[in-house]
A and B are shown apart, each in its own frame.
Chain A
Amino acid sequence: MIELVDVALLLLLSVTALAIVRQQNLFAAVMMAGIYSVLSAGLFVVMDAVDVAFTEAAVGAGISTVLMLGTLALVGHSEHKPKHRPILPLLVVALTGGVLVYGTLDMPPFGDPANPIHHHVAPHYLEESEHEIGVPNVVTSVLASYRGYDTMGETTVIFAAAVGVLLLLARGPGPRRVLVNGLWTTVAREEESPELEADEAPATEDDEPKEDDDG
């Protein structure tokens, strides 16, 4: 039964991924990316990773989608048709995929308790963490205690990203490239016509609430 659910979810994920690539309307693509996240959250539940599943459902399907929609509101939601025939990318992708599949042939079968991954520190966490940490959820004990420094590093990364987003978006309108007598030139904001300024002004206002979603 579990196998059936697993295979069905993986096939749905593949179909959704292909639909995202083929979709030219970015709004639809973002919505399907949300569906893709929820499907993967379902797969994580099947794989016993319940903590990962609810994080993926909240962060991947929720916050990510909101950020994407916020961006689409500013940049428009239609994608141009690619100009070149995608022969070279397809070749690169097929080659990489082939090499990766060749690599999996050496991997132990899925779900086997004898796999090497299950015989390093994992048994220690499963046997001792209830006495050592006293939290019934092993994932929580490892995240917050055994690998606490790792989690602190993660927080640092998020902080750096939040500062980066703030620095990028909180700045006023910068110089832009405009066509002057058939030549692309960089023009500072002050030199521009007033209606262009007015056109851009609400855009920077809208960026601010995006910040809150990130923390």
Chain B
Amino acid sequence: MIGLGLFNYWVVIFLMMVGFYTLIARGNLVKKIIGLNIFQTSVFILYITMGKIAGGTAPIFVQGEQEVVYSNPIPHVLILTAIVVGVATSALGLSLVVRINEAFGTIEEDEIEDTAL
């Protein structure tokens, strides 16, 4: 595990940037929310990666065994909260998209801008 060094973090940054790119470069509102989800998941992976201990196991007590190494439970707790909040955010965003589509007849950003003029 230790041999991997910072590889995980770099992949996390790559995923984060893919999500960020989708968010700023694509005009479709549903695609933007998918990009936001990619970004969110990359942050989850970052936290969970930091909690891992080489040779460790899930932080659930093993009966009758001494000297078990458990991974850090705190990032797990934080990310459990974040996943559920993330889905609440997506639901709110998607219902806004439905409303925008109803009012403007499109979910493409540039077409909405044309309509607003």
Contact = CB atoms under 8 A, between A and B. Distances in A.
Interface of A: 2-3, 6-7, 10-11, 13-14, 17-18, 20-21, 26, 29-30, 33, 36-37, 40, 43-44, 47-52, 55-56, 59-60, 63-64, 67-68, 70-72, 74-76, 79-80, 82-83, 86, 89-90, 92-94, 96-97, 100-101, 104-105, 107, 109-113, 115, 117-118, 121-122, 125-126, 130, 136-139, 142-143, 147, 150-151, 154, 157-158, 160-162, 164-165, 168-169, 173-177, 184, 200, 203, 207, 210, 213-214
Interface string B10-52: 1101111111111011111011011101100100110011111
A64 B38 CA distance: 12
B28 A109 contact: no
A17 B61 CA distance: 36
Dominant secondary structure of chain A at its interface with chain B = helix
A214 B83 contact: no
Contacts of B117: 184
A121 B78 CA distance: 14
Given A7-B4, A137-B60, A154-B81, 14 more contacts: A13-B15, A26-B30, A52-B44, A52-B79, A55-B80, A55-B83, A68-B94, A71-B97, A80-B111, A83-B27, A92-B24, A110-B6, A117-B72, A184-B116
29 contacts: A10-B11, A43-B45, A47-B48, A47-B51, A49-B58, A60-B83, A67-B90, A71-B94, A74-B101, A75-B97, A76-B107, A79-B31, A86-B25, A93-B24, A97-B16, A100-B17, A101-B10, A110-B2, A110-B52, A113-B53, A113-B56, A125-B73, A130-B61, A136-B61, A139-B76, A147-B77, A176-B102, A200-B102, A213-B91
Given A93-B17, A165-B91, A20 B7 contact: no
Interface of B: 1-11, 13-22, 24-28, 30-31, 33-35, 37-38, 41, 44-45, 48-54, 56-61, 63, 69-77, 79-81, 83-92, 94-99, 101-105, 107-108, 110-111, 114-117
A56 B114 CA distance: 38
Given A138-B60, A162-B88, A51 B80 contact: yes
